[in-house]
Amino acid sequence: MREFTKQELAQYDGRNGAPAFIAYKGKVYDLSSSFLWQKGNHQVLHQAGIDLTAALNTAPHGADLLAKFPVIGIFCE
Amino acid sequence: MAKVTREVVERSGVNVDQLVEMLVKNASAELTTYYYYTILRFNLIGLEGEGIKEIAETARIEDRNHFEALVPRIYELDGKLPRNMNQFHDLSGCPPAYLPDDPTDVKAILNVLVEAERCAVRAYTQICNMTAGKDHRTYDLALAILNEEIEHESWFSEFLGEGPSGHFLRRGETSPFVSKFLR
């Protein structure tokens, strides 16, 4: 499985046609197909291309919502 | 725009531009849900569907009320609705509540309904978290809407066999929590 550094992950922020990838607990998820991640933006507050492990702790939902999206890599901090 | 209103919210530490964007996205979610629920409600027919039609109708009307209640706050905070309805639809804070491929599948319709309500519950919880103790008027509005969205979720959840909703359906007027913002 592909490994992503912080800099590599940042290229997949969903802007300008780029895919929307995020990292969570060491895994990289592809959220490009999600209506709630259009152009890589999620509910105004979050942009794709970063590690959202800490942010998910304060979100009004759990990590279970990530389960329906493909894991496409491993995040190497 | 209510100049001092916006100023005091900004001074409390809330990012008002972000907040307004969230309110617009949720106003879109409410109005589009009202539209999609109209289609869902019409397709709730037969022995299974008829029992759910009334709560779908209540949720539909209350979601429209939520749209009506949100818009004044958007303009008070110097926001506005998009000029283009297509743009407004596409920026919704929740996915479209489309009629399932098989419109006779009542359970599939219920799943669409409950997922829409769950999206709304998350969205208004986020707004309450952002505004609690800072922007009292938006908090009060978001909390009122949240109360109704939670009830909608629990009604549909009960019909899906997930457990008792914990309360009765509406007796009397719709929007018992939000109605104060509609006067």
ipTM for the complex shown = 0.85
Domain A2-75 is of which CATH architecture? Roll (3.10)
CA distances from B7 to A22, A56, B3, B80, B116 (A): 35, 30, 6, 17, 33
Which residues of chain B register pLDDT less than 70? none
Contact B126 A60 (CB under 8 A): yes
Q: Is the pTM of this model over 0.90?
A: yes
The reply to whether CATH 3.40.50.300 applies to domain B3-181 is no
Query: In the predicted model, is pLDDT for residue A77 greater than 80?
Result: no
Contact A60 B94 (CB under 8 A): no
CB of A65 within 8 Å of a chain B CB? The answer is no
Is A47 in a helix, a strand, or coil? strand
Please state, rounded to an integer, the average pLDDT across all residues of chain A: 95
pLDDT at position B183: 83
Could you give the percent of chain B with pLDDT greater than 70? 100
In whole angstroms, what is the distance from residue B59 CA to residue B155 CA? 10
Give B 116-155 residues with CB within 8 A of chain A. Answer: 119, 121-123, 125-126, 129
In whole angstroms, what is the distance from residue A38 CA to residue B90 CA? 9
Q: What is the pLDDT of residues B127-152, one digit of tens each?
A: 999 999 999 999 999 999 999 999 99
Domain extents in chain A: 2-75
Domain extents in chain B: 3-181
Q: Which positions in chain B touch A63 (Cβ < 8 Å)?
A: none
